[in-house]
Structure 1
Amino acid sequence: MSGMLDTGTRLTAESGVELQVTGMLGAGGQGEVYRVRTASGDRALKWYYPACATPEQEDIVQELLARDFDDDRFLWPSTFVRGTHPGAFGYLMDIRPDRFKGLPALFRRQLRTTPRALLAASLYMVEAYQALHSRGIAYRDISWGNIFFDPATGEVLVCDNDNAVVEGDASGITGTMEFMAPELVRAVPGARPGTQTDLHSLSVLLFMLLMNHHPLKGKRELAVHCLDEAAEKKLYGKEPLFVFDPRDSSNEPDPVEQSTVLHTWAAAPQVLKDLFTHNFTVGLHDPAARVRESQWRDALRAVLDAVVDCAHCGRQNMTQPEETTAGTCWSCGGTLVLPPRLVLTTPAPRAERHLRLRRAARVHAHHLVPEPTRHDYSDATLVAELTEHPRKPGRFGLANRSGTAWTGTRSDGTTQQITPGQTVPLRSGLELDFGGARAVVHPK
């Protein structure tokens, strides 16, 4: 593949880093991305097409660099690189690891993943954009082309961050039509890309990630003979209608052509359905009423902790948090059996967490604090883990994977210390003191 920069081209970044082009990684709408060799290892170089290498785009990149936003969930521009030809420029960033895959591959069913991983990816994605918004930066082009995830863990990486701007800046792009807020699609006077329009785009992406379908593409889209720009403006801006709008079924999914979303919606817990319905009814017309990142975060965390395994086929199922009945498995139709529930209470300001004790269930550090700055379900934050007795199948205990001792209180009032590495048998009514946070085992 030939590009604007030849293999072997040498450039010097404004930071003084010397780099040599070793090959092309890919190309997009604004430019090309190259692998480059530096003294500290290989990096990625985004290089703009001449038509996109405008003074306005340079100002945006320089502003992003000046903000020094350091977050490992973003492939953020790290240093500016100017070319040998007048007006040519680009920037350096880290290379995306191979384990992170694009969402289009997920929607084409080319990736193997799980409901837990998709929920984790949704949660991590919400928190990533929340971190960006908290710094006064609007992304403006949240879409399926700009985020990658690890199908095994749900970890996310946000790419193409050179369109993000300080909130209120009207320069640059407005977004991708399918993900743009209706007021931007309609070009409402005074409407401009910002955190409020990001919230709409984020909800569209969450719906696609969890429901495998666009929230506004129902029978109306199938009736369009030519999905040109005028038709898209009608679907996404002038007459947007949620496929599950409770008051208007004229855009409901076609049971043959769009059956997937009917099944995924039926399997979704009510707490997520309620947020999606609000955002794609009231939120379509009132930007101030859109679901906030904190609302998505709390709901996604609760549902992720309430995932259970079907005893018949082993598939993971999302369940309504705190429910005592779970219905049937989305895959085999068998009746779901709810495992015991660990109810954790954090120190003040008091918050409650409900964790289903499915096989290999885990308690993480974020479960024990009232308002975690970031959720992390990796091994690095593991506090406790449900384990099966090696010689007594069907007998389970909670293993201490932390660095401190717990106090356990049985239903008869007797207590015991659970030191790091020890396991306490799982019994209904068992109370645990994690050294601040407390927990009680409930039968359902």
Structure 2
Amino acid sequence: MTGMLDNGTLLTSDDGEEVEVTGMLGAGGQGEVYRVRTHGGDKALKWYYPACATPAQQDIVRQLVARDLHDDRFLWPTAYVEGANGAFGYLMDVRPDRFKGLPMLFKRQLSTTPRVLLTACLYTVEAYQTLHSRGIAYRDISWGNIFFDPVTGDVRVCDNDNAVVEGDSSGISGTMEFMAPELVRGDSGAAPGTQSDLHSLSVLLFMFLMNHHPMKGRKELAIHCLDEAAEKRLYGAEPLFVFDPHDAANEPDPVEQSTVLATWAVAPPSLRDLFTKNFTTGLRDPAARVRESEWRDALRAALDSVIDCAHCGRQNMTQPAQSTAGACWSCGSTLILPPRLVLTTAPPRAERHIRLHRTSRVHIHHLLPEPGRHDYSDDTLVAELTEHPQKPGKFGLANRSGTPWTGTRADGTTQEIAAGQTVPLRSGLELDLGHGTTRAKAVVRVK
């Protein structure tokens, strides 16, 4: 593959670092991406096509570099690089191989689980919430700009050179399938921003979890040529949610679009309600769209409520705090709801519900009423469910926090659970999980 830059080309970033091109990684609509060698290790260099190397884009890149966003979920521009004849680009971290694109998920080329998909959705929501909280609109949220690890759910957001300060103008409005209806129609006064990002984010989440676009039902199947005019009608002039409760004209075809019927049926009502709100009322009223905080809380609750089928072992999403469950999506057996841990945080009080399964864990964010960031990695582990080595079927909660807990039994007596120790889970047991780093406390009850 040949590109604009030859291997061995030497460039210099605006901070004085020498950059040597070592190979081409890929190409997109705006430019090409190269692997480059720097004194700090290998980086990626995005180099713009001449037609895209405009003064406006140059200003955007310089502003993004100056913002210096320290967030590992973004492949953020870290340095501006200029070449001859007005050519330019920017440095960013190289995307690790473990991160895969959504097209592989949609084509069923990846093996993953409901827990991983919910985790990826939660991390994606928080990533864009970080941008919005800093007054930055992404403007082109789509399946092409997000990568995820199918094992852990970690995410990386790329192509961040589309992001601008809210209110600034530029030529990027988004990808048609993900654009808010008012942008597709070109309504007077409509411009890409955080409100339109909320629509795009909801479309992305729907595709993550349902493996289908929320507006592609019978109406799309009836279109013989899906050209630009047809897309503008489908996504702008006449957008209609495939599961609109008051209009079935665009419902999924049971043969051609059976996948979305199946995935929607097994999604918890808490998530279905948010999608329905966003793709009915939110289509007409941008101010009514689901906020990142609503998605965050619903996704976390759904993630902590995933259970394993007792018959086939497949993961199933359940409604948080419900007392009964339906049938397993895989084998059809009746699901058996295990007990749950009910965590009550320190003031301002909030409850977290975690369904018990063989790999159940409690993380620092579970102990906080308003966590700044959710993190299900080993680095944030506070407690985990463990099975007794000599007594199969007997479980306890192991202290992984590094600080002692206080346990109160049903008869009122107390005990200390040191770091590394395990306390058997018995009815009526309450645990004070004070965490030394965050100073947050929570009480756990087994229900």
So what's the TM-score if we normalise by structure 2? Answer: 0.98
The CA deviation at 1:69 is 1.7
Alignment of 1:14-25 (within 5 A): 14-25=14-25
Q: Look up the match of 1:76.
A: 76
Letter of the 1:49 partner, please give it: Y
Describe the SS at the equivalent of 1:145: helix
* Residues 10-63 of structure 1: CA deviation (Å, up to 9, x unaligned): 111111010110000000000000001111111100000011011111111111
Aligned Cα RMSD in Å? 0.8
Describe the SS at the equivalent of 1:25: strand
Residues 306 and 318 of structure 1 are in contact (CA less than 8 Å); yes or no, is this contact kept in structure 2?
Answer: yes
Letter of the 1:354 partner, please give it: H
Letter of the 1:221 partner, please give it: E
Letter of the 2:444 partner, please give it: V
Residues 163 and 172 of structure 1 are in contact (CA less than 8 Å); yes or no, is this contact kept in structure 2?
Answer: no
Q: Look up the match of 1:213.
A: 212
Q: Look up the match of 1:190.
A: 189
1:3 and 1:255 map into 2 onto residues whose CA distance is 45
Describe the SS at the equivalent of 1:37: strand
1:158 and 1:286 map into 2 onto residues whose CA distance is 27
Letter of the 1:196 partner, please give it: Q
Alignment of 1:386-401 (within 5 A): 386-401=385-400
Residues 124 and 375 of structure 1 are in contact (CA less than 8 Å); yes or no, is this contact kept in structure 2?
Answer: yes
Alignment of 1:31-42 (within 5 A): 31-42=31-42
Residues 53 and 89 of structure 1 are in contact (CA less than 8 Å); yes or no, is this contact kept in structure 2?
Answer: yes
So what's the TM-score if we normalise by structure 1? Answer: 0.99
Alignment of 1:79-118 (within 5 A): 79-84=79-84, 86-118=85-117
Q: Look up the match of 1:6.
A: 6
Alignment of 1:280-291 (within 5 A): 280-291=279-290
The CA deviation at 1:372 is 0.5
Alignment of 1:36-435 (within 5 A): 36-84=36-84, 86-435=85-434
The CA deviation at 1:342 is 0.6
The CA deviation at 1:233 is 0.3
Describe the SS at the equivalent of 2:144: coil
* Residues 110-146 of structure 1: CA deviation (Å, up to 9, x unaligned): 1111100000000000000000001110000000000
Describe the SS at the equivalent of 1:440: strand
* Residues 312-367 of structure 1: CA deviation (Å, up to 9, x unaligned): 11011110000011111111111111111110011111111111111120000000
Letter of the 1:18 partner, please give it: E
Residues 427 and 441 of structure 1 are in contact (CA less than 8 Å); yes or no, is this contact kept in structure 2?
Answer: no
Q: Look up the match of 2:445.
A: 441
* Residues 130-177 of structure 1: CA deviation (Å, up to 9, x unaligned): 000011100000000000001011010000000100001121210000
1:97 and 1:68 map into 2 onto residues whose CA distance is 21
1:46 and 1:10 map into 2 onto residues whose CA distance is 14
1:428 and 1:99 map into 2 onto residues whose CA distance is 42
The CA deviation at 1:408 is 1.0
The CA deviation at 1:439 is 2.7
The CA deviation at 1:441 is 3.0
Equivalent residue pairs, number: 442
1:414 and 1:166 map into 2 onto residues whose CA distance is 57
Residues 340 and 441 of structure 1 are in contact (CA less than 8 Å); yes or no, is this contact kept in structure 2?
Answer: no
The CA deviation at 1:243 is 0.2
1:417 and 1:214 map into 2 onto residues whose CA distance is 52
Letter of the 1:438 partner, please give it: A
The CA deviation at 1:414 is 2.1
1:428 and 1:154 map into 2 onto residues whose CA distance is 33
1:116 and 1:283 map into 2 onto residues whose CA distance is 27
Residues 76 and 93 of structure 1 are in contact (CA less than 8 Å); yes or no, is this contact kept in structure 2?
Answer: yes
1:314 and 1:223 map into 2 onto residues whose CA distance is 40
* Residues 399-426 of structure 1: CA deviation (Å, up to 9, x unaligned): 0011111111122222211101111111
Residues 411 and 429 of structure 1 are in contact (CA less than 8 Å); yes or no, is this contact kept in structure 2?
Answer: yes
2:427 and 2:216 map into 1 onto residues whose CA distance is 47
Letter of the 2:366 partner, please give it: H
Q: Percent identity?
A: 78
Residues 425 and 446 of structure 2 are in contact (CA less than 8 Å); yes or no, is this contact kept in structure 1?
Answer: no
Gaps of 5+ in 2: 435-439
Residues 57 and 172 of structure 1 are in contact (CA less than 8 Å); yes or no, is this contact kept in structure 2?
Answer: no
The CA deviation at 1:87 is 1.6
Letter of the 2:357 partner, please give it: R
Describe the SS at the equivalent of 2:81: strand
